[in-house]
Chains A and B, each alone.
Chain A
Amino acid sequence: MGQLSIKNVSKKFSQILVLNSVTLRLTQGNMTALIGNNGCGKSTLLSVLSGQLKHDDGHIYLDGICIDSTTIHERSKLGIARMSQESRLWESMSVAEHLLLVNSLYKLKQINITNLMKVANINKLTFSYLPNQLSLFERRRLELFMALIGSRFLLCDELGAGLSIIEARELYDIVLKMVKCGWTESSLMIEHRQELLDEYCSEFFYLQNGVIKSNILPFNVIG
């Protein structure tokens, strides 16, 4: 049983305390939501988890082992996959090259790749396309697929941003499927659309003034 947890993590930007002794644990088989007002530190928390930002205080544990000093790519290899808020792909590489590259990094079995591609519905006709020839939805789906390949813990920052509710649901379905089948142990989603969170997430963390208040029902938050 693997788990990702953070204990008493604090992060300061110059004088401003963004995360104040945050403690949080991702449990297996759950889609977890991280909610809070704009600028309350949701993205900062994900960046701390992925290693893009170094936290000032506290510890991050993966399977009980402290991973504070690991770099971004080491955490990625350990299974912490972060998707960024804006759509990011390697603009000069074709879709096929994206897939080849990520596959070469994680060395999955053929059958896993085929199944993953089926779940994520990656179209073989788009293989020779460059990212700027894809729609936003296809871009996000490709990004999600690349993140899922190596992921044990998926950290999504606004997965559905800029997409219609139907498209966003499709992406959330993919994540839910992967979490339910056990490929991805759990996921932490930042999302502004209440209906998506109500539909998919079973656990909620509410971040306010840098402090986590766990398991608050979503309607309480929105008020």
Chain B
Amino acid sequence: MPATCVPLGSPGARSPLRALVPLGPGPAVPQTRSAPRPVKAPLPEPDDVTLVAALARGDAEALRVIFDRHAGAMLGLARRVLGDDGEAQDIVQEVLTRLWVEPDRYDACRGRLRSFLYRETHSRAIERLRSLRARRLREASPRARWAEVVPDDLEEEVVGSLRSETVRRALLGLSPDERTVIICAYYGGLTYRETATRLGLPEGTVKSRIRSGLRRLADALAAGGLDT
């Protein structure tokens, strides 16, 4: 159930209007009355394939469902990468608009819709970041260049943004070296070669730390019940 919809009578619903958005039955109009409608059991929430098929038919409600499900994570990802709220919102808007225009780009055989949307978001955010970064680097002194590239508190911010204790434990369970290279590359928008330069490490070391770190992360998440 979406966060904006609190069932009447629940602790969060102090008055009927706190429970927006469902509309009431309308005013009691002294006109013709129809028999009460039978209460239907709610249908299951639509899955990715159903949603994208509906999107392809131009069903805008499907886009709203996708927005409700994924916009928060997409926005969080773009914010961590770009460090700018306005830019991050632009990215989310672009990704969802493109999905609306070209729903066929999502192939359910290649993974879940959220995975597709996160990749699109990350890819566009990185592209934007690299463009902004190139401009900043041209203007920065050589000594300040790498300090400009990745904020020092990025790792702290990423860990602090995690709302799932299982995920937080899994990430903190990595060695600091593994965690640093993963966050630096993914949220800092660096290639592994750039990460190696940034951290003063051999490329092979960064490559293997990313690989071992991600595998250990996947193992820890699976152990915490968040398997594929």
Bound together: no
Give the interface of B toward A (CB within 8 A).
none
Give the interface of A toward B (CB within 8 A).
none
